[in-house]
Structure 1
Amino acid sequence: MCIGQLGNLLPHVTLSANLAQHLMPAWGLSAAEGGLMASGYAFGYMLAVPVLTTLTDRIDARIVLLCGSIVSGLATAAFGFFAEGFWSGTIIWSLAGLGFAGAYMPGLKALTDRLPAGDTSRAVTLYTSSFSVGVGLSFLVAQILADRWGWRTAFYVTGVGPIAMVLACLLIEGRRPAPKSGRLLNFAPVLANREALGYILGYGAHCFELYGIRTWLVGFWTFVVAHQGGPSWMTPVLMSFCFAVISMPASILGNEAALKFGRHRAITVVMIASACVALAIGLNATAPAWLLALLLMIYGLTVPADSGALTAGMSAAATSEHRGATLALHSTVGFGLSALGAWGTGVALDIAGGPQSASGWLLVFIVLAAGIALGPLALVWARRGHSGKRPS
């Protein structure tokens, strides 16, 4: 399942990896338009995931996963063939996000349905943290292909990646959920589960920060190289790849810290640290490249370190009969705020001077810091309202 997910994630940041250097100049887009186009992926995901993930409470999640993977791959390739500007690009990229809505959380549901009873937090964390390796490969492959053969080729090739999950779906055994009646989109039991809801809202803050920095990481380092120089090997390709890949051990270690020191405490410390690092990067946007590279690598550790702990906490807090609906709300909130993070940081960049302005990047990182700083508040709210009993 983790290997299949790497294939499904190969298209994930193909647009973001080529946004500042290729797509915005080619189509004359502002940062706000570029951010909005990138957020189309998260928006399409947000619209589809409530139905597709909740559906896994009624049919085998493997079926949803298979269909979502196919749609994701076809839509990514279609971007390379048919996208000609802001509107066509946004619509097609939204379809790719819609397909991924059937590929990520339904994949987690397909995995957890097949795990033995007991604590599954390490398996869930391995699955969620492999997300980071997939994103790193997406950054790497998309930029190398675009630089050598054009950005359209990057979309053609990364669109083939989801075939790996299609093969994984064909290899795992089928499983039929117990028959279930009632409305498909019934989130009332999830909203009543304040413990799970706290993790869901915290995940939303995490996604706002994560998608915001992923959308503009290549653009920011392009600014650094243009104004501060630095070693020739310290390219946007290398920086974005390293930033994404170190997320996997960070997420695993973050969950281990949560198991040892307490989930709320560990997540809160990570979120506050991440906000501080974001502010440090923004305030030092004109510092030497080596210092910014160091700060970005630290940020690459703090941004994802709460991800596995948040998702594992949500999964543990969810009641078994409403796990699909809980996963659906988790993803809906997360990717809804992902879309807001990509667009909001683009707007901030335009307001404060654009991609070639240090003040523009300062405001971007202030927005990111403010977003993640809201996460601990959600956890405090959940703890104060949690009576110690899970809702039935």
Structure 2
Amino acid sequence: MCVGQVGNLLPHVVVQAIMAKHLIPLWGLSASEAGMMAGAYAFGYMLAVPVLATLSDRIDARKILGAGTLVSMAAVLAFPFVAHDLLTASLMWGLAGLGFAGAYMPGLKALTDRLDPGDASRSVTLYTSSFSLGVALSFLIAQVAADRFGWQSAFLVTGLGPAAMLVAVALMAPVPPPPAQGSVLSSLGAVFRNRPALGYILGYGAHCFELYGMRTWIVAFWTFVAATRGGDVPVSPVTISVLFALLSMPSSVLGNELALRTGRHRAISAVQVASAVVGLSLGFASDASPWLTLGLILIYAVTIPADSGALTAGMAQSAAPGAKGATMALHSTIGFGLSALGGWGFGLALDAAGGPAHNRAWLAGFTLLSFGIVLGPVALWWSRRRSAAPSAPLSGRRAV
């Protein structure tokens, strides 16, 4: 499943990886338009995941996983033949995200349905952290392919990656879900009444806003840093984007281990506040020494994803019996909806502060991300209000 997950993610940030050098000048896009185009993937995901993930409570999630993978793969491979401006590119990229909605959370459901309960926390964290490896390869392969063979090749090469998940699906044994309890609306109602799970879901939304804001603009930001210094920077945009994504994988795993030992809410809140401080510092350092800027980016690469595994594992463990798919659906809807807003909002902040050629514009963008992530601890605090310990699926130290 983790190998298949990496394959499914090879196309994941192709648009973000190549837009600064290829797509923005090709189609004459502003920063806000580029952010909207990049965010179309998350928007398409957000529209489809409530239905697809909730449906996984009623049919074997393996079937949804296979269908979603096929749709996403087809949209990515068709992108260079169909996309020729902002509208067509956004529509095709949104269709790819819609397909991925049938792959990510239904994939997690397919995985947890085949695990013993004692294996869930670390296995979920490994699955979610493999996301980062896939994104790192996506950044690397997309930029190298586009620079050497043209921007169209980035989609054609990475679009073959989801075939790995199709192999994984074919190898899975069927696991019929238990008989559904009530309607889809009643399942969603159970999620909205589950305050502990909602805390993790809203915290995940804050995490995604920050993460995708940075993923969307990291290549453009480092391109700006290099341009203002005449190209005299320690690493290339390709290298910085890959390093940023690779550091996310161990960070997510270690963040979950920290949460298991010190309390999930406490660990997540500490990480998110630290990330806000680093992000704000990075905005102020956009015109500082490139070595200082690089150091802050690498620290940011650790703080941003360190809460991811703990948030998703906490959500899965807090889900009400019979409503796990619906809980995952809301988790992804909120997360990817705010992901779309993160990339687009960063672009709007850039344009509002004078455009990507100005230091103050990057400070505005990073300030927006920092404001977004500090809402995560607020959501976790809210989830503890009037939430009595006996009603929560977890108990004791690990439920903190």
Counterpart position of 1:373? 374
Query: Contact conserved, 1:105 with 1:327, CA < 8 A, in 2?
Result: yes
Whole-angstrom distance in 2 between the partners of 1:390 and 1:321: 16
Pairing 1:281-300 to 2, within 5 Å after superposition:
281-300=282-301
Structure 2 residue runs of 5 or longer lacking an equivalent are: 394-400
Distance 1:355 1:153 in 2: 27
Q: CA deviation at 1:150?
A: 0.8
1:6 and 2:6 matched: yes
Q: Which residue of 2 aligns with 1:347?
A: 348
Distance 1:390 1:49 in 2: 27
Which SS does the other structure have where 1:320 is aligned? coil
Answering whether residue 137 of structure 2 is matched by residue 122 of structure 1, we say no
Task: Give the structure 1 partner of residue 248 of structure 2.
Answer: 247
1:272-326: CA deviation from partner (whole Å, max 9, x where unpaired): 0000000100001101111111100000000000000000000111122100000
2:7–2:162 Cα contact (<8 Å) kept: yes
The Cα shift of 1:79 comes to: 1.0
Does the aligned pair in 1 maintain the 2:197–2:318 contact within 8 Å? yes
CA RMSD between the two structures: 1.2
| Contact in 1 for aligned 2:234/2:290 (Cα 8 Å) | no
Q: Write the distance in 2 (CA, Å) between the matches of 1:148 and 1:36.
A: 26
Alignment of 1:108-257 (within 5 A): 108-118=108-118, 120-180=120-180, 182-185=182-185, 186-229=187-230, 234-257=235-258
Structure 2: distance between partners of 1:360 and 1:184: 44
Distance 1:90 1:253 in 2: 36
Counterpart of 2:334? 333
Point out where structure 1 has 5 or more consecutive residues left out of the alignment: none
| Larger deviation, residues 271-280 vs 222-231 | 222-231
CA gap 1:233/1:281 in 2 versus in 1, 3 angstroms = closer
- Who is 2:398 aligned against? none
User: Using the alignment, how far apart are the partners of 2:387 and 2:240 within structure 1?
Assistant: 41
Give 1:73's aligned residue: 73
Task: Please list the CA deviations of residues 200-242 of structure 1 after superposition, one character each: whole Å capped at 9, or x if unmatched.
Answer: 0000000000000000000000000001246566000000000
Contact 1:230 1:288 in 2 (8 A): no
Q: CA deviation digits over 1:95-133, x for unaligned, max 9?
A: 000000000000000000000132511110000000000
Q: What amino acid maps onto 2:267 in structure 1?
A: A
What is the count of residue pairs matched by the alignment?
392
Equivalent AA in structure 2 for residue 224 of structure 1: V
CA distance in 1, matches of 2:355, 2:21: 14
Contact 2:318/2:392 (8 A) holds in 1 = no
State how far apart, in whole Å, the 2-side matches of 1:232 and 1:267 are. Answer: 33
Which residue is 2:396 aligned to?
none
Q: Which residue of 1 aligns with 2:61?
A: 61
Q: Distance in 2 between matches of 1:137 and 1:73?
A: 16
When normalised by structure 2's length, the TM-score is 0.96
| Deviation at residue 182 of structure 1 after TM alignment | 3.1
CA distance in 2, matches of 1:341, 1:258: 26
Q: What does the per-residue CA deviation read over 1:146-174, in whole Å, with 9 as the maximum and x for residues that have no partner?
A: 01011111011111110000000001111
Q: How much identity, in percent, do the aligned residues show?
A: 60
Q: In structure 2, what is the equivalent of residue 303 of structure 1?
A: 304
Aligned to 1:50: 50
CA offset digits 1:340-390 (Å, max 9, x no partner): 111111000001111111111000000000000100000000112311133
Distance 2:231 2:276 in 1: 26
**1:99 aligned counterpart, secondary structure:** helix
Paired residue type of 2:74: L
Instruction: Tell me the equivalent position of 2:261.
Output: 260
Offset of residue 67 of structure 1:
0.5
Conservation of the 8 A alpha-carbon contact between 1:228 and 1:287: no
Q: Structure 1 residue runs of 4+, over 3 Å off?
A: 229-233, 389-392
Q: Which moved more, 1:286-295 or 1:115-124?
A: 115-124
**Hey, what's the Cα distance between the residues in 2 that align with 1:183 and 1:13?**
36
